Amino acid sequence: MTDIIQLLPDHVANQIAAGEVVQRPASVVKELLENAIDAGATEIKLIVKEGGKTLIQVVDNGIGMSNTDARLSFERHATSKIKCAEDLFNLHTKGFRGEALASIAAIAHVEMQTKPEGEEFGTHLRIEGSKVAFQEVAVCPKGTSISVKNLFFNIPARRNFLKSNQVELRHISDEFHRVALVHSNISFHFYNNGSELFNLPKGNFRQRIVQIFGTKMNERLVPVEEDTEVVKLSGFVIKPEYAKKSRGEQFFFANNRFIKSPYLHHAINAAFEGLMRNEMQPGYFLQMEVDPSTIDINIHPTKTEVKFDDEQTLYAILRSAVKHSLGQFNVAPMLDFEHDRNLDTPYSYQSKDAVLPKVTVDPGFNPFEDNKSAPRQVQKQSVKGWQDLYEVDTSDSQHFSSVQFESEATNSNLFDKQATNIEESTVCFQLNHKFIVTKTKSALLVINQNRAHQRVLYEQFLKVLSNDTMVKQELLFPEEKVLVANEFGILKGIEDDLSALGFDITFDSTKKSIKIDAVPGLMTEVNIGTVLENLIVTFEEENNTNELSTTELTAKNLAKSMAVKNGQPMDAASQMALVNDLFGCLEPELSPFKKRTYVLVSDNELENKF
């Protein structure tokens, strides 16, 4: 047999390596920022365009490179950071694999200007698809500037896999935060499409957290400090009352490197146990300093998954240190045995007899008689008058409220077409405050109220979007909210979708705050804050599924937040209206999240049971 094995040419090997190192623009950002830090920069500028797809540039004032080094830096396994295998156990730099620049140069157009301190001239170099397009002497400042253009220009499959600019920008911001947070001694600037997103002057860790996450974060932080032989721990946890549903505020750093560790995360969760509701996430910014020989960073090309020698001890230290901090800062509820109860009562009252409080009761009051629940009244008031602002036909079935379905079952002709043919005189009832049970001509119909309502609302939102028949409710008292940077970015990213659905939101990029002046006409009695928070969580966790447009995802999510919940009582008219509205939908069988909305039990099936 003839020999068939051959060595891959360098540029092919580089492209393969690039697949591991560079998944998306954010990966390039991470590598370039880390190189700038390793070069001892004190000022770093990040410039991106179109979610990093057309340009990612990092400018630093670090040590720069000589002419030869500049050329060599793009070779695979070319590094100045380690010389032998032993060095791997004593790493003090972010990089060491010597493959980032080679990988990036294999899949993008790269341009570099670099000059070491004290040299008169620097080097200007351009590389396209691993080949040097030109190299010349240049006049440039000390330090290095690297521009990466047209990422994946030669791998269309990867390019097509990229998300919208907004989503890619969010990944870049996440990466930027991770690096900038733990290097508060370096000043950072971050520009997107020509406008400044972040300007972070030098400061301490706490100041850097506040620069990135907003001034409100300051009062939410509880310091954590612990110095042991295994680890020097420092940083902050967020007070449990400010816990969020999203995981956006969870940061572990090991030796100044952002790391992911589900195991250590669990330790923090354990320390917060009993202080937060289950679905909430603890927030933390924790730095661990360990002996470099006790940590293996080389287990994954992106170097975010690491292996500690003694993870169990770390776990125990983390858990107890965080617990201690929460307790010390009076965050954890503590039993106070030394409390003098006499101090609770004003002195002059102590000798007085106790008097039964007088309560006037209206014996005729029946809370279940009145359809209008209290919170609803409040909301109604706050939007009172909006109908006058917009000429709307309120008889339109779109304007039914989310719980009180005031619309009468008028659409019966619609159902004649449906297999589920419900008779006019049909009654329904609610089972366990969760299911609506009714009948069709020949079957028993059991509807999941929450999912059915999600479907109804979702289709109404889609109708609003396609017909441009959007109705807004002006809020009498506009709500203002200060958000943390990534939340602000997420909402800003779907600004157009929100406004198409009926939100009037003004974004203030400097204060990272939003002002909500109007909400969709379909929205009633729901807490706007919760609706927006759910939206943020959805988009934060939106993981690589590209099937939906952001508008649809937004509509789906709003429908979910606003739908009547399981466990919520509904009066007969509302139940009937929901049944009718459901079968007026284009796709009544499934919720927007593709879950079954109802089941039919036919006469035959029933017969068979007897």
Among 27, 61, 96, 286, which residue sits at the site for ligand ADP (rule: CB under 6 A)? 96
Least distance in angstroms from the C-beta of 29 to Mg ion = 12
Say how far apart CA 211 and CA 219 lie, in whole Å.
13
| Tokens of residue 210, six digits | 């506040």
493 neighbors 539 (Cβ within 8 angstroms): yes
Handedness of CA 421, 426, 431, 436 (dihedral sign): positive
Nearer to ligand ADP by Cβ, of 38 and 168: the residue is: 38
Among 25, 62, 122, 592, which residue sits at the site for ligand ADP (rule: CB under 6 A)? 62
Contacts of 111 (CB under 8 A, 6+ apart): 124, 125, 126, 127, 146, 147, 149
SS3 525: coil
Least distance in angstroms from the C-beta of 159 to ligand ADP = 22
Least distance in angstroms from the C-beta of 62 to ligand ADP = 5
Quick check: 36 binds ligand ADP (CB under 6 A)? yes
Least distance in angstroms from the C-beta of 134 to ligand ADP = 19
Contacts of 187 (CB under 8 A, 6+ apart): 42, 43, 44, 200, 201, 202
Quick check: 78 binds ligand ADP (CB under 6 A)? yes
Quick check: 95 binds Mg ion (CB under 5 A)? yes
| Tokens of residue 65, six digits | 């490179």
Among 17, 51, 52, 60, which residue sits at the site for ligand ADP (rule: CB under 6 A)? 60
Q: Using a CB cutoff of 8 Å and minimum separation of 24, what contacts does 9-16 make?
A: 10/76, 10/130, 11/106, 11/129, 11/130, 11/131, 13/76, 14/76, 14/102, 14/103, 14/105, 14/106, 14/130, 15/106, 15/107, 15/154, 15/155
Selection from ligand ADP, Mg ion, none that 449 binds (CB < 5 to 8 A by kind) is: none
Backbone angles phi and psi of 267, in degrees to 5: -60, -40
How buried is 23 (Cβ within 10 angstroms: 0-12 exposed, 13-18 middle, 19+ buried)? middle
Quick check: 80 binds ligand ADP (CB under 6 A)? yes
Least distance in angstroms from the C-beta of 534 to Mg ion = 38
Selection from ligand ADP, Mg ion, none that 81 binds (CB < 5 to 8 A by kind) is: ligand ADP
Among 17, 26, 47, 100, which residue sits at the site for ligand ADP (rule: CB under 6 A)? 100
Q: Which H helix or E strand runs over 296? A: strand 295-296
Selection from ligand ADP, Mg ion, none that 60 binds (CB < 5 to 8 A by kind) is: ligand ADP
CA-wise closest residue to 151 among 134, 136, 171, 137: 171
Nearer to ligand ADP by Cβ, of 69 and 226: the residue is: 69
Nearer to ligand ADP by Cβ, of 298 and 381: the residue is: 298
CA-wise closest residue to 140 among 112, 108, 161: 112
Least distance in angstroms from the C-beta of 211 to ligand ADP = 23
- Dihedral (Cα; 206, 212, 215, 220), 10-degree rounding: -60
Quick check: 533 binds ligand ADP (CB under 6 A)? no
Least distance in angstroms from the C-beta of 93 to Mg ion = 8
Least distance in angstroms from the C-beta of 145 to ligand ADP = 8
Among 26, 28, 39, 485, which residue sits at the site for ligand ADP (rule: CB under 6 A)? 39
- Which residue is listed with tokens 């909210």? 481
Least distance in angstroms from the C-beta of 150 to ligand ADP = 19
Quick check: 65 binds ligand ADP (CB under 6 A)? yes
Quick check: 71 binds ligand ADP (CB under 6 A)? no
Nearer to ligand ADP by Cβ, of 96 and 152: the residue is: 96
Selection from ligand ADP, Mg ion, none that 39 binds (CB < 5 to 8 A by kind) is: ligand ADP
- Which residue is listed with tokens 């593709």? 594
521 neighbors 473 (Cβ within 8 angstroms): yes
| Minimal CB distance residue for Mg ion | 95
Nearer to Mg ion by Cβ, of 64 and 95: the residue is: 95
Quick check: 56 binds ligand ADP (CB under 6 A)? no
Q: Of 8-37, which residues contact Mg ion (CB under 5 A)?
A: 35
432 neighbors 426 (Cβ within 8 angstroms): no
Q: Of 31-70, which residues contact Mg ion (CB under 5 A)?
A: 35
How many residues in the shown chain lie near Mg ion by CB under 5 A?
3
| Tokens of residue 295, six digits | 């940590």
Among 24, 30, 53, 97, which residue sits at the site for ligand ADP (rule: CB under 6 A)? 97
For ligand ADP, the binding residues (CB under 6 A) are 31, 35-36, 38-39, 60, 62-65, 73, 78-81, 95-102, 144
Chain residues binding Mg ion by CB under 5 A are: 35, 95, 100
